[in-house]
Amino acid sequence: MCGIVGYIGHQPAAPILVEGLTRLEYRGYDSAGLAVLGSRGTTAVRRVGRVRELQAALPSRLTGKVGIGHTRWATHGPAVEQNAHPHRSGDGRISVVHNGIIDNAATLRTQLAQDGVTLLSDTDTEVIAHLIARSEAETLEEAVLDALSRITGTYALAVLDERHPDRIVLARSGSPLIIGIGDKEMLVASDVAALVRHTNQVVHLDDGELATVTPAGYRTFDRGNSPTTREPVEISVAAEDLELSGYPHYMLKEIHEQPEAAAMVLRGRLDERFATARLDGLGLEPRELRGFRRVKILGCGSAYYVGQLGAQLIEDLARIPADAEAASEFRYRKPIIEPDTLYVAVSQSGETADTAFAVEEIKRKGGRVIGLVNVVGSTIARTVDGGVYLHAGPEISVASTKALTNMSLAFALLALHLGRLHDLSHADGDRILRGLQRIPEQLEEMLSRAAEIEPLAREIAKARSAFYIGRVHGYPVAREGAQKLKEISYIHAEAYPTSELKHGPLALIDEEMPTIAIIPDDELAERNLAAAEQVLARRGPLVAITHASVGLGHLDARTILVPKNEPELDPILLTIPTQLLAYQVAVLLGHDVDKPRNLAKSVTVE
């Protein structure tokens, strides 16, 4: 969500901060600001709107070589300038940028006001700046520790102090924070995307850890002010990976990157000799995997819907009970953590706060949890017991596409691996393996026919609401399709199991309510066609995402044909047209496809 950048070194800080904030725009924000510390003190500039508006407002001569910047997504208080970051102490000495939420901010605000402090914003962050400034500690590090001792909640903090212009102090608890190592310069960011032009060596702070960065290096320590050891790691993301490369939107670029991304997640993981998947990163021996009697999948948003698809794959291939649950609800219902359950956390960014907290709850109670994560070195990737990296490459658009497809493929690999450890025959294992090998080529085929969807998109763009329906394997596809349409086109969309249509939703079907039906060629095709008949009988426009082998007969439906694969793998391919449809509808309606309103790429607060 919110983005943090920081710089200290031998170059003017402002241009580097602006560039870093621009790199973080995809995370979602409504205001931006920076503070640069120079020989005459701190210059702070904040603006509501885009980073380009902040850049236009900067003084022409802003030469300080240490600074912090922020893009804010409103939580406490509306998107107005006084609520934008950085926030400063009353005397202007302390400047703070913060991601996360301070739970006891209201109490602290009351206490500060009673002590005569004037609060200028509605935010929780401002209290941190005042607490640090009011500390009697001799060092900035000790002052930050004093402030942290009084707050509860989640935070990633970067702090400047005019009395200590040679350093930035950082703190992390529940929200990501990364140090970038340069040549006589150091950088700070909440996301590696802000660092890739300047370094490929980074340090990930752990929860409860703090750091001091100076031009010469960094020092990490814990809440007790005792040193910690944190070694740099190399990142593989290149700056060109974050460019549009001639596409009008990142979402379209990432849709078209799916064949290559799919090949990457499968590469080296298909064992033809034993007709299984090779998943060394799980860190689990066959005997341990056979000991699990249930699989519980946890994710949020699209990752949750892919988790439902994954649960079906595991039940189909491994014959182990499996289900998916919204990670955002999991820890609040006092879950029973069973020793014979394998927990799977799914997150593109690896920083999704609700999912990370669910992982912590499982581990605290002794459960075994693995991750399906795209970002190496992310919080969830470092917390879980093992896992499968998605290898989708950087994903910038808020609406996930290629990472989503790679999640599905990773679940197929996990299901195949578990299946072959149980009762899945060599012949069926080989059948699934061959199906997986066909998927990159089939993705390429579908994307080559993307223009065929545009006439359907023009019809859907006229609607105010839409239904997505699917049965069993098609239902997670329907849920994800509805999610995509609503989040980037702002058209209200609902997903229902096809069998539930007659139990209430059918009342809403009329000439202005289109239905997108997921109709694979499987044992339920006839029942799905019968439901389509019910929609058409009520004059509802119908779009069928289906296989050529499904005979629609006399049905007056617009069709989107998908290549046929194995029945268990068909949902992966059936999802692709829902991405293209949502994208084209959003473009036709003139929306900002990559930055849908009110949403963020990486949801790092509850």
> What is the DSSP secondary-structure string of 454-473?
HHHHHHHTT-SEEEEEE-TT
**Distance (Å, rounded) from C-alpha 219 to C-alpha 203?**
11
Would you call 519 exposed, middle or buried from its count of C-beta atoms within 10 A (0-12, 13-18, 19+)?
buried
C-beta separation of 368 from 387 below 8 A: no
Contact indicator for 231, 190 with CB cutoff of 8 Å: no
- Helix pair angle (474-489, 302-318), 10° resolution: 170
Backbone angles phi, psi at 277, to 5 degrees: -105, 145
- Dihedral of alpha carbons 107, 108, 109, 114, sign: positive
CA distance 396 to 594: 8
For the chain, the helix, strand and coil percentages under 3-state DSSP, each to the nearest 5: 40, 25, 40
Which of 409, 342, 405 is closest to 370 using CA atoms? Answer: 342
| DSSP secondary structure of 248-283 | S-HHHHHHHTHHHHHHHHHTT-EETTTTEE--GGG-
CB neighbours of 135 closer than 8 A, spacing ≥ 6?
Answer: 142, 143, 146, 147
Q: Which amino acid is at 407?
A: M
Angstrom distances, CA of residue 284 to CA of 295, 296, 388:
14, 16, 12
SS3 313: helix
Q: Find the length of the chain.
A: 606
Q: Which residues 6+ apart lie within 8 Å of 559 measured at CB?
A: 543, 544, 545, 546, 552
User: Helix, strand or coil for residue 108?
Assistant: helix
Longest alpha-carbon distance in the chain: 82
Pick from 389, 403, 299, 277: nearest CA to 343: 299
How many other CB atoms are there within 10 angstroms of residue 526's CB atom? 10
Cα gap 168→65, rounded to integer Å: 12
User: Which residues are identified as catalytic?
Assistant: 2, 601
